[in-house]
Amino acid sequence: MSAGLPAKKGQKGRKNPAGNTGPTARSDPSGSPRNGEDAAPKGMRLNRYIARAGVCSRREADGLIERGLVKVNGERVREFFISVMPTDTVEVNGKRISTSPHEYILLNKPKDTITTKHDPKKRRTVMDLLTLSAADKGSLFPVGRLDRDTSGVLLVTNDGELAHRLMHPRYEVDKLYRVCTRNAIKPHEIDLLKKGVDLEDGLAQVDEVAYVALPNRHEVGLRMHEGRNRQIRRMFEALGHEITALERVNYAGLTAKGVRPGKWRRLQPFEIRRLERQVHMK
């Protein structure tokens, strides 16, 4: 669906995580064995393991390690460069985590659905729409939020590093929305949306906005990279407009074409690579 706009450090003498005694054969940050040690079986850097498990980004994982919130085989660790093996037990803040192959799912979120993994009020969540086993859904989480009555493109994944970057303002990931209002949107209000609308948390503006199909002035498409809570709804409310329908039709180049509301599909490899390029992971 078109919205009127084009989509645009080291530890000495520690037991290794597998439980063997003596120093662990470790590599320096370049990956080469140190002091003539024999190379140990290749593991995964701890911060990467945490990110791969979908907990957070690698940088945030470093903070968790530094604060002593990470244990490997029951032992609290504070070193960034240790490696863990698939047989090791890793806990973050008392909860065991595990890695699994990365999954990337595009969901066409319908209205009246909560963008969260669990809802204390037992309302329907986006995770309820995924026809996967509980084990397969365990590490998945939605990237960002769409409010309950907003529909459209939503990415669900267990790739913590990619998710963190997509949501970080530094990368200015594009989002394209279709907005329908009860009353006609006047041309000067289009200009106001571009220049900025004063909200309680500061000036909010869109990157582009245009009518979808004149002479209809009740429907506009807008592009933005900001992502404050209910930002679009609050901007239109500030202009005196009631939104009757709000749909995200494009997120970082992903669209819901061919995916009915409430349904989902896995991303194609080229789509994953495109996302990674956008946030400088490739």
| CATH number for the domain harbouring residue 139 | 3.30.70.580
In-domain check, residue 1: no
pTM confidence score:
0.72
CA count, 13 A, side-chain hemisphere, 94: 0
For the cut 50, the answer to whether the pLDDT of residue 20 exceeds it is no
The residues annotated with a catalytic role in the active site are 147
248 contacts 165 by C-beta, under 8 angstroms? no
By the 8 A CB rule, do 162 and 173 touch? Answer: no
Q: What is the pLDDT of residues 48-107, one digit of tens each?
A: 888 878 788 888 999 999 999 999 999 999 987 889 887 788 999 888 887 777 899 999
Give the pLDDT of residue 3.
Answer: 64
Do 90 and 204 fall into the same domain?
no
Residue 114 has pLDDT above 70, yes or no: yes
Residue 152, domain member (yes or no): yes
Q: Return the minimum-mean-pLDDT range out of 10-24, 159-173, 229-243.
A: 10-24
Q: How far is CA 249 from CA 109, 141, 207, 228, 267, in A?
A: 11, 20, 16, 18, 16
Judgement on whether residues 156 and 264 belong to the same structural domain of the protein: yes
Looking at the fold, whether 67 and 112 belong to one and the same domain comes out as: no
| 13 and 32 part of one domain | yes
Instruction: Give the residue carrying structure tokens 């989480």.
Output: 141
- Given a cut of 80, whether residue 35 has pLDDT beyond it is no
CA–CA separation, 14 and 34 (whole Å): 16
Domain containing 239 equals: 174-251
User: Which of 118-122, 141-145, 167-171, 253-257 holds the top average pLDDT?
Assistant: 253-257
- CATH number of the CATH domain containing 198: 3.30.2350.10
Q: Do 149 and 264 share a domain, yes or no?
A: yes
Asked if residue 153 and residue 261 are part of one domain, the reply reads: yes
Q: How many domains does the chain have?
A: 3
Asked whether residue 46 falls in the same domain as residue 149, the answer is no
The mean pLDDT of the chain is 85
